Amino acid sequence: MGDQVWLAFIAIAIGVGFGILLFVPFVAISYRRRGRLTLGRTLLWLAALVYFWAIWTYTLLPLPDPETIRCVGAITDPMAVVRDIQKAVAAPGNTLTQPALLQLVFNVMLFVPLGAFLRILGGRGILAALLVGLGLSLLIETTQLTGVWGLYPCAYRFFDVGDLMTNALGAVIGSALALVVPRSMRGMAAKPDAALPRPVTRGRRAVAMLCDALGFGFVVTGTSVVTQVWLQYVVQDRQAVLDGRIAELVSLTAASGLWLVVILATGRSVGDLAVQLRYRGARMPVPLARALRWAGGIGGIGALQLLGGVFDALSSWLMLLAVVLLFTTRRGRGLPGLLSGQELTDARADATSSDIP
């Protein structure tokens, strides 16, 4: 039980990690194809990510010590599944507690979510569930047959044709069960009303802020890693790597500069672009209004950290103020809206410039 719980935590951690990495493009695609972001569909996609990694963790992990493995062969007789069921039924005691039968049931249930996700999230039917179920199961079984693609000298888990059959059956069952979900809630096709404007809410603005924070953090982290690698292997300045100030300076400058360029060019931050928001109603020159919006957002707040000292502390207070203003200003226009004197609108409501009165 301890190993199973640990594997579950691994799958959840990896799935959530990938969910965070993919969150900004997921939000952008959702607003463009479906017109909005819903909690239920977001959680379903996150569950699909966790499920995908759970399949691999439960079928391949934990990796054994090469010195302790026992080489096994392959079960290629498809009728072995039928014989296992017959033995379970003929065995004394409760049939439902027979290990062979429980293993078959587990193999079926393991792929039921796959079929459901394919129909609900991908809009694919039973044939697709069958083919994907067979393909994914074959990939797993082949990984086991090859000793994790040569990582081990031989297979330490059985390649079983019966698993291919039961896994595929599970995917088909999952696809059939997902038919209870209304058709309007299935699939990835663009919704007819996706281009229609929707109300600007504080929740939507909060998602935009979250996208900005995540995107800014990814740029900072990626640039910092690249800078540290360059200092370590090209410049070969170990002291600069340990000090970390050069990497911090480069990464914050790159991220803040990128946000400034995006806002000056489009009038919107990365988060605004993702959730289809725009500011409008400038009572000052457009470039100045956009610069002030940058100063009140993650780009300007991040740039303060470059100055260090009291400005570093000020950036933390401004982050807190930005959250407070999200809940206390009209439509959550926040600090950028207050500094620029502009209001938030749906970007789809007006195809003209975001900065006009």
Residue 354 or residue 41, greater confidence: 41
Check residue 192 and give its pLDDT: 80
Beta bridge partners of 344: 279
Check residue 264 and give its pLDDT: 95
Helices (H), the chain: 2-21, 23-33, 39-60, 80-90, 99-110, 112-120, 126-145, 147-150, 161-177, 202-230, 238-243, 245-266, 270-275, 286-295, 298-304, 310-328, 334-340
Give the model's confidence band at 31: pLDDT under 50 very low, under 70 low, under 90 confident, else very high. Answer: very high
List, for residues 34-56, the tens digit of each pLDDT value. Answer: 888 888 889 999 999 999 998 88
Amino acid at 262: V
How far apart (Å, rounded) are the C-alpha atoms in residues 45 and 40?
9
> Of 339, 208, 214, nearest to 269 (Cα)?
208
Query: Is residue 168 a contact partner of residue 133, using CB atoms and an 8 Å limit?
Result: yes
How far apart (Å, rounded) are the C-alpha atoms in residues 272 and 128?
36
List, for residues 297-348, the tens digit of each pLDDT value. Answer: 999 999 999 887 888 889 989 999 999 999 999 889 999 999 999 999 999 8
Neighbours of 196 (CB within 10 A): 11
How far apart (Å, rounded) are the C-alpha atoms in residues 140 and 167?
11
Residue with tokens 């972001």: 37
Q: Work out the mean pLDDT of the chain and round it to a whole number.
A: 88
Longest dimension (CA), the chain: 86
Residue 158 or residue 243, greater confidence: 243
> Of 33, 347, 20, nearest to 204 (Cα)?
347
Query: Is residue 108 a contact partner of residue 166, using CB atoms and an 8 Å limit?
Result: yes
How far apart (Å, rounded) are the C-alpha atoms in residues 44 and 61?
25
